[in-house]
Structure 1
Amino acid sequence: MKFRTRLRVTFVTIIVLPLVLTALAFSGIGLYLMNVHQGFPAVDLDYTAMTENMREVVDATDQVFSCLKEQAEADASRLADMQYLEELNSGIARRTTYIIVRKGDGLYYAGNEEAAEVIFSRLPGYGERDLSEDPGIYYDDLDKFVKQLDFLFPDGSRGSAFVVTKVNSLISRKLLVDMFVAILLILSFTGFMLTRWIRRGVFNPINELNAAMRKIKEGNFEYALETDAKGEIGDLYRNYEDMRLRLKENDEENRESEKQNRELVSNISHDLKTPITAIKGYVEGIMDGVADTPEKMDKYIKTIYNKANDMERLINELTYYSGIDNNRIPYNFHRINVADYFGDCVEEVGLDLEQKNIELNYSNLTQPDTIVIADPEQMKKVINNIISNSVKYLDKSRGIIDIRILDETDSIRIEIEDNGKGIAQKDLPKIFERFYRTDASRNSAQGGSGIGLSIVRKIIEDHGGYIWATSREGEGTCMHFVLRKYVELQDEKQVTI
């Protein structure tokens, strides 16, 4: 439930609930005081009697008494008519006013039999009081006001008609005390229920969120909060969960990054240590006079130069990968004709492979006008890295590298296949990871930093393509990567698909 709705419900409850409960309490207490103590049944309850003054009670009694008196003067025999008496009694507006008719010493008619039994024995006898001067009798202990009318029944029997009215000149002290206690209990109950409701709906969830945030502060990202609640509380829980999952993911990435950084330092130390050790060895040989002939001196110097080049190549690859991994190297994309571009690349790498006695085969099965969007320099690095990796792991006396360009409708697929020693199936999914080498001992005799293929994958993915490898041990490896074609529409709007 939303806070706004919760506040509206609280506002309405604070107003309506106490009013309803107070009304019920007032009715119950009034019923108890008027009916239990005064002998009135629930159906005869008249709440106006609880607040009227004595003058109003006398006036109400006089109205009924006047009717009886007029009838006695006109025709006293009708006062013996039960039907007439019943009609007159039922027509009284006040339910706490009723008629009693006595014949002789016995009860002839009672408009309220239960109440009449309480007061009948205390009513004055026929002719005991001067009715012409006496306005009525007030029974303080019973809170009853009575007016008497004497008459004779048709058979000559003495009769008396009494109009009895319950009296409450003001709200009684007991009612005030009881109502005060009732209102106090009602307000306490209302406050308790609202406090409990708000506590369950607001404070408890906030306390849970505080506990969860402390867990986050302590680095514990496993403390989950689940809820089906709606409104702001539900949103807070769900936002917390999103934040927790993101922080957990970032923490795992940071841990993995730290692990990779430690591995990076270890790999760099290992890869740099080998050429540095060789350089030191050859320099010491020169200093000790081992290279005592011009031929040996020339060999030592060339070896030192080659090792220095290996170190420079490793540092350049690390610097390049760091830049491209952090998106600090800008791409210069151009429209490239596939046939022309890959033809030039093959011609360029072919000369170097020919010197190494490696056969290079090239075939292009795409249309002559096929165009892709690519960065020429970065794509050349992809081809060089793949071919360089193939050359390192050629183990045949006659090495062969095949480059094929295939047409796949809306894209082209480039395949670079060698006849090297191949890659084990268990290692195949990992070859594009940083610093991964299939030789667990990390023997650097073949050179390389272990990041060449990871650079290749990064460049291909930044071009919107994808790359994978297939291999069979002892037979060779084939690298496949796909680039999307560029299509120019007839209305000269250019799009890539």
Structure 2
Amino acid sequence: MPSTKNLSPRQLSALTAGLLALPISIGIFILTGNIIVGAASLLLIFSGSYGLILFTLEKFIYRKIKLIYKLIHQTKATKKEEVYFKYILPQKSIDEVREDVEKWGEKRNEEIELLKKNEAYRKEFLQNLAHEFKTPIFAIQGYVDTLLNGAMEDMAIRKKFLENAAKNVDRLVNLMNDLDEISTLERGEQLLYKQNFITQDLIREIFESLSIKTHNKNIRTTIKKGCESPIMVFADKEKIRMVLINLVENATKYGKPNGSIVASVYKIDEKNVLIEISDDGIGIEEEHLGRIFERFYRTDAARSRDKGGTGLGLAICKHIVEAHGQSIHVRSTPDVGTTIGFTLESRRD
């Protein structure tokens, strides 16, 4: 016998009709003393009760349930859904219907929570964007106003203020370029020109191109011992160059003086290669690790802005790596250092 918690409408109707018909027919048999009359009463009462109860369930209760399902789907029912409502849904027990509604409710709650998070993220992003633009614009405005109000006559001040204004203009241009780059990546409009190239060669080129910055802090750049053997990947070389430049620049900004930046390259399997850039700098608190690839997210706003940059570098790295169908990750411990790694496809023959 099926569990009473999972009875279909027909089973529920039959059970209820039986519970009604059996005692009544027994009573009739006792009163009449005729077994044929008792059996006929049982059959008639059971049939009548079954039909009435099933009619009530399907026409009233399940009609309401069908409306609930249609409201859940929020669309005009397709032919497939109409078949479902007509033939399959009436076979479900009330508990099964309740489970369906609960699952739908949980899914809607998840969507609502995601929308709330996205809304909070949007507000934070707009606030950060406004701040990123406001800072250099106000600085330029201040320098220009000061020059127009008489400071232009002093050659030394004029040159200094114009140089500072030019730096802030460069900052705005970099910000616009980064925003344009990340918007293109997000829309999936950035074409990838993949080719085979040796990872270590590209890393050495980047170490050389950023040697002035690393030399100023006396930071040593190396490829990890055991990772020197050439490993070839299949990717957009210039896009990966951008990723590695961002990672090495970040490691330089937040690395400690007289420290080191170490690049590691590992062949995970026949299909994937792991590239990591590690520093021994200030590190990142665990609470920030999940958000460092967000646009404009800064673990320490004041200190980060003093270091320069647009706050979009890691977000661009993430989009470039994901555009390759790969992933990027971070490991960090405060005052120990940070390692950011990403995977790429192995060489193609």
Q: After superposition, where does 1:351-366 map in structure 2 within 5 Å?
A: 353-354=214-215, 358-363=219-224, 365-366=226-227
Q: Does 1:481 align with 2:338?
A: no
The answer (yes or no) to whether the contact 1:336–1:372 under 8 Å persists in 2 is yes
1:223 match? none
How many residues are aligned here?
A: 310
Q: Which has the larger radius of gyration?
A: 1
Shift of 1:206: 3.5
The answer (yes or no) to whether the contact 2:235–2:345 under 8 Å persists in 1 is no
Q: After superposition, where does 1:428-447 map in structure 2 within 5 Å?
A: 428-439=289-300, 444-447=305-308
Which residue among 254, 272, 275 is the counterpart of 2:136?
275
Q: C-alpha separation between the residues in 1 aligned to 2:219 and 2:159?
A: 27
Structure 1 residue runs of 5 or longer lacking an equivalent are 1-5, 14-20, 29-35, 43-181, 218-229, 489-497
Shift of 1:364: 7.3
The answer (yes or no) to whether the contact 2:330–2:341 under 8 Å persists in 1 is yes
CA deviations over 1:74-112 (Å, ceiling 9, x no partner): xxxxxxxxxxxxxxxxxxxxxxxxxxxxxxxxxxxxxxx
C-alpha change, 1:273 and 1:442, in structure 2 (3 Å) is farther
**Equivalent residue letter for 2:328:** I
Partner SS, residue 328 of structure 1 = coil
Q: After superposition, where does 1:50-199 map in structure 2 within 5 Å?
A: 190=47, 193-199=50-56
C-alpha change, 1:429 and 1:255, in structure 2 (3 Å) is closer
Q: Quick check: which one's helix share is greater?
A: 2
Which residue among 249, 257, 270 is the counterpart of 2:118?
257
1:132 match? none
TM-score (norm 2): 0.70
**What percent of counterpart residues are identical?**
26
2:57 match? 200
Q: Does 1:403 align with 2:263?
A: yes
Q: C-alpha separation between the residues in 1 aligned to 2:250 and 2:117?
A: 26
Partner SS, residue 470 of structure 1 = strand
C-alpha change, 1:239 and 1:336, in structure 2 (3 Å) is farther
Q: Does 1:303 align with 2:160?
A: no
**Equivalent residue letter for 1:439:** D
C-alpha change, 1:346 and 1:441, in structure 2 (3 Å) is closer
RMSD: 4.4
Q: C-alpha separation between the residues in 2 aligned to 1:270 and 1:371?
A: 42
Partner SS, residue 437 of structure 1 = coil
Shift of 1:268: 0.8
The answer (yes or no) to whether the contact 2:248–2:277 under 8 Å persists in 1 is yes
Superposed structure 1 runs of 4+ greater than 6 Å apart:
none
Which residue among 273, 280, 283 is the counterpart of 1:422?
283
The answer (yes or no) to whether the contact 1:267–1:435 under 8 Å persists in 2 is yes
Partner SS, residue 331 of structure 2 = strand
Greater displacement, 204-213 / 448-457: 204-213
Q: C-alpha separation between the residues in 2 aligned to 1:262 and 1:429?
A: 18
Q: C-alpha separation between the residues in 1 aligned to 2:319 and 2:165?
A: 33
The answer (yes or no) to whether the contact 1:339–1:364 under 8 Å persists in 2 is no
Q: C-alpha separation between the residues in 1 aligned to 2:338 and 2:168?
A: 28
C-alpha change, 1:357 and 1:307, in structure 2 (3 Å) is farther
CA deviations over 1:271-292 (Å, ceiling 9, x no partner): 1111112111111121122244
TM-score (norm 1): 0.51
Higher relative contact order (CA 8 A, sep 6+): 2
1:392 match? 253
Partner SS, residue 287 of structure 2 = coil
Q: C-alpha separation between the residues in 1 aligned to 2:107 and 2:194?
A: 34
1:165 match? none
Q: Quick check: which one's strand share is greater?
A: 1
2:37 match? none
Q: C-alpha separation between the residues in 1 aligned to 2:66 and 2:308?
A: 55
Which residue among 330, 334, 337 is the counterpart of 2:195?
334
Which residue among 306, 319, 333 is the counterpart of 1:458?
319
Which residue among 231, 234, 255 is the counterpart of 2:88?
231
C-alpha change, 1:369 and 1:427, in structure 2 (3 Å) is closer
Q: C-alpha separation between the residues in 2 aligned to 1:247 and 1:320?
A: 34
Partner SS, residue 426 of structure 1 = helix
C-alpha change, 1:274 and 1:367, in structure 2 (3 Å) is closer
